[in-house]
Amino acid sequence: MLSTQFSMKRLVEASYIFGLKIFRNRSKRMLGMTQNSYVEKVLQKVQDGTLRKRFLPMRHWVRMSKKQSPKTDEELKRMLDIPYASAVGII
C-alpha cells in the first residue's frame, strides 16, 4: 500500500478531479469519469450569447478536396503519425 511508503491522510472519496466528475458503482464494480459539467458550461455560454465569433486562421477562399489526401504509402504513413485531435487543435 502507498501508506506504508508515504505519509498520507485518510480523505473522503474523490468526486471531482481536474473538472471531471468521478462516478462509482461498487455493486457493478464500475468506475468512470464524465465531462458533463464542462459540456453544460459550454452550452450555457452558447445559449447566453457570451461566446464571441472567431475566424479560422485560414483563407476563406481555400477549397479543400479529396485530391489533397495522401496518395502514396509514405504520405499515408506520415499522416497516420499525426494524432487527429492534435491536428485539429492546431487549427
pLDDT digits (tens, 9 = 90+) for 9-38: 777 888 888 888 898 999 999 999 988 888
Q: Please tell me the predicted confidence (pLDDT) of residue 91.
A: 44
Phi, psi of 30 (to 5 degrees): -120, 145
Give the integer Cα–Cα distance in Å for 23 and 14: 9
C-alpha triplet 20, 24, 25: angle, nearest 5° = 150
Whole-prediction pTM:
0.35
The whole-number average pLDDT for the span 63-86 is 82
Taking all residues of the chain, what is their mean pLDDT, rounded to a whole number?
Answer: 79
* The three three-digit cell numbers of residue 22, written as one number: 468521478
32 in Cβ contact with 23 (< 8 Å): yes
59 in Cβ contact with 53 (< 8 Å): no
Higher pLDDT among residues 23 and 55, named by residue: 23
